[in-house]
Structure 1
Amino acid sequence: MRTVTRNLVVAVLAVVAVLLALGALPGYLGSGDPYYVEATTAEGDGAAVVADNLSERRFPYAFEALGSLEAGEEPARSEAYYEGPVGFKESFTHTPFDEFGEFESRNRDAVERDADSPVGDVAYLEYDGQRYRLEIVRGTE
């Protein structure tokens, strides 16, 4: 193998390894404040996103919070999501904020917006005939 070809192959493999690391590494970053999705049952007949046809794989934070509520855990919350340094992680990983943005795109009236937040902090879901209030909370472990 010629030196130029070998160097080109090594360079391409190095670039591929760096790109794979950038895609996987941010999910393991655990710095910053934790954010959780907390679930409570909600009374009333207001607007809600119908969650019966939503995928648990696409909305893991919401469904984990609902599962905690059904299991009787107090508080009923999802796994912690850590922001990471300087917004780097959000570009590469799935966040609870992504889920609430998707809820808002499905039914704008089902999400209550906070003026300081880029997406809604509270969303109402209807799942298995029950209405739930989901909220993104910032907290400690």
Structure 2
Amino acid sequence: MRPIARNGLLLLVGVVLALLALGALPQFLAAGDPYYLTVEGAEDGPTLEVDNFSARQYPYLFEALSSDDGRSSAYRRGPWGLKEPFTNSPFDELQSLLEFAPEGAATAEAAFVEYEGTRYRVAVVQP
């Protein structure tokens, strides 16, 4: 094998390994206090119906909806902003809900959703 081909192949393998490492790295990058996506019962009003939403696309939301205490698992931001571009976060999910919510079904920090006939207020909290 020619040296230039060998070097190109080694560079390609190195890039692939680096990308794989970046995919696995975010779970190890955690700093600061935890954030939770919470759901709590809310009074009547406009809502975004989430019965047909995907639990794979909104894991924090559906974890909070199915939990006994109405909160998802903890999410910790990464140091220096390295984690956020590579992971789904409760902030991403809330932002998506705020964008899809009809008029009157959201405030600046919370969205109102309906799931299985019950209305919930969804927000990100830091205890």
Q: TM-score, normalised by structure 2?
A: 0.91
1:91 partnered with 2:85 = yes
Partner of 2:11: 11
Alignment length (residue pairs): 126
One-letter amino acid matched to 2:39: A
1:133 partnered with 2:127 = no
Q: Deviations over 1:25-68 (max 9, x none)?
A: 11332222210011111122x12110011011111111111101
Partner of 1:112: 107
Pick the structure with more strand per residue: 1
The 1:86–1:111 alpha-carbon spacing in structure 2 relative to 1, beyond 3 Å, is: farther
Which runs of 5 or more structure 2 residues have no equivalent in the other structure?
none
One-letter amino acid matched to 2:113: L
Q: Percent identity?
A: 46
- Contact persistence 2:26–2:83 (CA under 8 A): yes
Partner of 1:37: 37
Which runs of 5 or more structure 1 residues have no equivalent in the other structure?
114-120
Query: What's the CA shift for 1:24?
Result: 2.3
Once superposed, which parts of structure 1, at least 4 consecutive aligned residues long, lie more than 3 Å away?
A: none
Q: TM-score, normalised by structure 1?
A: 0.83
- Contact persistence 2:35–2:125 (CA under 8 A): yes
Over aligned residue pairs, what C-alpha RMSD do you find? Answer: 1.4
